[in-house]
């Protein structure tokens, strides 16, 4: 392979036309970061490339390079622009192009092409003839596949809940505040952040005099890292910026006799104080790849799950429409449903693991008091999502720890047990769904005469 190496053999450096031509002949997939001398290669994706290289192993199917547009005639169309461009070369042809630091799209395109090259190398697939991108100078941005639609970059942003709030057990409260402000949480992980991760995420604060102390504070305990999106599938970042403007517009000292802040503004300010996020498209894209390198792949490969939900008699009678609307609003589809009055025998069988609990007599009485609505709910990650919405196991805990949970919001007066049930794990979901929706088998019999006549 032509050209020198850098970043511990991670990227080849291309500075002239001969090196460019040699690089295109490299076997496997070559991802080339096109840059200009005055702007420099995109440092933001170095960690991303390193993670991808480690993930795909050492089978020499994936290669990275940086190419200086100023010294390579073929790359003349990319001069005088600081926006990074990433070219994908397979079998000597440039077949795709991504403009900008669109980390999820870079991950997606790289993963697809590497997998295809592996299948071809293993003889599982034949290489199909792929048209090379037409002259780079003539290729318009609208024509280059899907590369200029930063859908994932704009839609998602990354937030961090700091160690003190995690230690005080406020994670669920903060997540609910974010949801109440009109955002969704697509992923959340508890992590002990490294010094590198903290310095990268908070790079905009590095000149502050107490920055080193802040880094040590962030390393003092686990944080919760969130992938935040806008519920209406619009851009999350602009809406978060609007929250910041709203909070900044509040005077420091309210006039005497007036409330400190309006409820909405106080809520807004509290969210900004307890969850730090990236509020630029480029930074959010980089951080998404940094903290969740497999996020886009996980999203695309995630299978739709099925879980069991029970709406117990008292809630079904009083607020049926409300709870059904909430289920729909949270993205669930109802695959199967039945309304059934359970016998005592059925209740004892379904809840046999709870028979020795103090609350079981009340549960038995409630379940036998009228019809129960049994639902098979489907969506991505259905089991965990429904359990998360339900909240703590008891009504008392739910009201205290997460008043916005379904068990708290749909509690029925004078009844101590929750009015909703959800499967705890995917295995439990399969067993519980089988209990209420057993598979039915039909026997077909072909008589001897008919079999002989219609062989």
Domain limit, last residue, from 246, 269, 300: 300
Choose among 107, 10, 1, 85: nearest CA to 41: 85
Residue 445 forms part of a structural domain = no
Number of independent structural domains in the chain? 3
Partners of 97 in the beta sheet? 87
- Single out the catalytic residue among 224, 385, 421, 441: 421
Angle at 136 between CA 135 and CA 138, to 5 degrees: 65
| Same domain as 243, residue 183 | yes
| pTM over cut 0.95 | no
Residue 444 forms part of a structural domain = no
| Same domain as 230, residue 117 | no
Provide DSSP, 394-438: SHHHHHHH-TTSHHHHT--TT--S-SEEE-SSHHHHHHHHHHHS-
| Same domain as 309, residue 291 | no
Residues of the chain with pLDDT under 50: 1-8, 134-154, 233, 246-266, 268-269, 298, 300-301, 440-442, 451, 454-455
- Does residue 112 come out as left (phi exceeding 0), alpha (psi in the -120 to 50 range) or beta? alpha
Residue 137 forms part of a structural domain = yes
**CATH number for the domain harbouring residue 426:** 3.30.70.141
User: How many whole angstroms separate alpha carbon 158 and alpha carbon 281?
Assistant: 10
User: How many whole angstroms separate alpha carbon 233 and alpha carbon 229?
Assistant: 7
Q: What is the pLDDT of residue 139?
A: 41
Q: What is the pLDDT of residue 374?
A: 93
User: How many whole angstroms separate alpha carbon 31 and alpha carbon 24?
Assistant: 10
| Same domain as 46, residue 122 | yes
421 catalytic per annotation: yes
Q: What is the pLDDT of residue 342?
A: 92
Domain limit, last residue, from 115, 149, 183: 149
Q: What is the pLDDT of residue 25?
A: 83
**CATH number for the domain harbouring residue 10:** 3.40.30.10
What does each C-alpha distance from 228 to 71, 119, 178, 254 come to in angstroms?
A: 41, 35, 9, 32
3-state secondary structure of 60: coil
Residue 312 forms part of a structural domain = yes
Q: What is the pLDDT of residue 311?
A: 94
Domain limit, last residue, from 300, 324, 358: 300
| Same domain as 14, residue 62 | yes
Residue 449 forms part of a structural domain = no
Residue 289 forms part of a structural domain = yes
Residues 6+ apart with CB under 8 A from 37: 68, 70, 71
- Tell me the per-residue pLDDT of 6-33, one tens digit each, with 9 for 90 and over: 444 577 888 888 888 888 888 888 888 8
Question: Residue 419 is part of which domain span?
Answer: 303-436
| Same domain as 178, residue 41 | no
Provide DSSP, 141-162: TTTSTTTT--HHHHHEEEEEE-
| Same domain as 266, residue 164 | yes
DSSP run (H or E) holding 340: strand 333-340
| Same domain as 420, residue 307 | yes
| Same domain as 31, residue 76 | yes
| Same domain as 163, residue 107 | no
| Same domain as 61, residue 166 | no
Residue 446 forms part of a structural domain = no
| Same domain as 290, residue 384 | no
């Amino acid at each position: 392979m032509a050209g020198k190496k850098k970043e511990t053999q991670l990227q080849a450096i291309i500075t002239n036309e001969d090196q460019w031509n040699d690089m295109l002949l490299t076997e496997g997939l070559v991802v080339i970061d096109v840059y200009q001398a005055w702007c420099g290669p995109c440092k933001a994706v170095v960690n991303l490339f390193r993670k991808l290289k480690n993930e795909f192993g050492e089978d020499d199917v994936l290669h990275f390079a940086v190419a200086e547009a100023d010294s390579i005639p073929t790359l003349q169309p990319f001069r005088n622009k600081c926006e990074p461009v990433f070219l994908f070369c397979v079998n000597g042809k440039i077949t795709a192009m991504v403009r900008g630091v669109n980390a999820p799209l870079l991950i997606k395109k790289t993963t697809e092409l590497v997998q295809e090259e592996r299948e071809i190398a293993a003889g599982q697939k034949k290489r199909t003839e792929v048209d090379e991108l037409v002259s780079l100078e003539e290729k318009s941005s609208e024509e280059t596949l899907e590369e200029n639609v930063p859908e994932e970059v704009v839609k998602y942003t990354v937030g961090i809940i700091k160690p003190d709030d995690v230690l005080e057990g406020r994670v669920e409260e903060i997540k609910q505040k974010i949801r109440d402000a009109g955002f969704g949480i697509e992923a959340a992980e508890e992590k002990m952040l490294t010094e590198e991760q903290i310095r990268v995420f908070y790079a905009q604060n590095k000149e502050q005099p107490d920055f080193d102390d802040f880094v040590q504070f962030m390393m003092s305990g686990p944080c919760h890292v969130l992938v935040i999106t806008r519920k209406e599938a619009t851009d999350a970042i602009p809406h978060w910026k609007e929250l910041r403007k709203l909070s900044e517009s509040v005077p420091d000292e309210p006039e005497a006799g007036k409330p400190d802040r309006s409820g909405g503004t106080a809520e807004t300010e509290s969210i900004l104080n307890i969850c730090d996020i990236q509020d630029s498209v480029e930074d959010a894209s980089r951080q998404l790849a940094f903290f969740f390198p497999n996020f886009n792949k996980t999203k695309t490969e995630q299978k739709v799950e099925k879980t069991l939900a029970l709406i117990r008699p008292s809630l079904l009678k009083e607020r049926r429409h409300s709870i059904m609307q909430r289920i729909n609003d949270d993205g669930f589809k109802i695959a199967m449903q039945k309304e059934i009055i359970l016998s005592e025998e059925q209740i004892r069988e379904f809840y046999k693991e709870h028979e020795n609990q103090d609350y079981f007599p009340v549960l038995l009485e409630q379940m036998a008091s009228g019809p129960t609505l049994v639902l098979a709910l489907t969506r991505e990650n259905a089991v965990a999502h429904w359990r998360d919405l339900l909240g703590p196991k008891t009504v008392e805990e739910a009201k205290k720890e997460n008043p916005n949970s379904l068990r708290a919001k749909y509690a029925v007066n004078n009844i101590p047990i929750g009015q909703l049930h959800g499967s705890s794990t995917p295995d439990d979901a399969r067993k519980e769904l089988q209990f209420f929706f057993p598979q039915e088998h039909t026997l077909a019999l072909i008589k001897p005469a008919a079999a002989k006549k219609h062989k």
